[in-house]
Amino acid sequence: MTLTKRPTVLLVAALFLVIGAAFLTQLIPYRQIIDSNRQVEAAHKELTALEEENTLLQADVAALESPEEIERLAREKLGYARPGETAYVVLDPPGAGEAVTRAPAPEAPERTWVEKIWDFVSGGDQES
């Protein structure tokens, strides 16, 4: 039984090669599209956060136009006091600012080769 006597075997093999090549040529653009969508989502989240921060800062600027707010900040941040008032400074006890050590996070279990391939195809390996 030779390959020339069975042209269907050659046809099926060629069909698998064409389908495989088509799949591989579409895989990279698919991954780039997934990555671009993630970048757009991250940019939208950052834009929303910056707009919220901008709104808060504009409210702070508007509040600083009043003399009461300026006096409150001077007393709070700089420790200013009016003539005749006594200002007190409260200090934290020694050792209050020391960092708390935490246990290291557990490592992720090793993934199987099938899971790694699926992550590559679906773009899961690009997640940060």
Q: Which is more confident, 62 or 26? A: 62
Q: Dihedral of the CA atoms 117, 120, 123, 128 (nearest 10)?
A: 110
Q: Note whether 64 and 70 are within 8 A (CB).
A: yes
CB atoms within 10 A of CB 79: 10
Q: What is the pLDDT of residue 4?
A: 58
Concatenating the DSSP letter of every residue in 34-59 gives: HHHHHHHHHHHHHHHHHHHHHHHHHH
Q: How far apart are CA 116 and CA 6, in angstroms?
A: 38
Q: What is the rounded average pLDDT for all residues in the chain? A: 83
Q: How far apart are CA 58 and CA 46, in angstroms?
A: 18
Q: What residues contact residue 126 under an 8 Å CB cut-off, 6+ apart? A: 31, 34, 35, 38
Q: What is the pLDDT of residue 50?
A: 97
Tokens 């200013």 belong to residue: 80
Q: What is the pLDDT of residue 54?
A: 97
Q: Which amino acid is at 62?
A: A
Assigned token pair, 29: 């653009």
What are 13-59's pLDDT values in tens digits?
889 898 888 887 877 788 788 889 999 999 999 999 999 999 999 99
Residue 1: pLDDT over 70? no
In angstroms, how far is CA 28 from the centroid of its own chain?
22
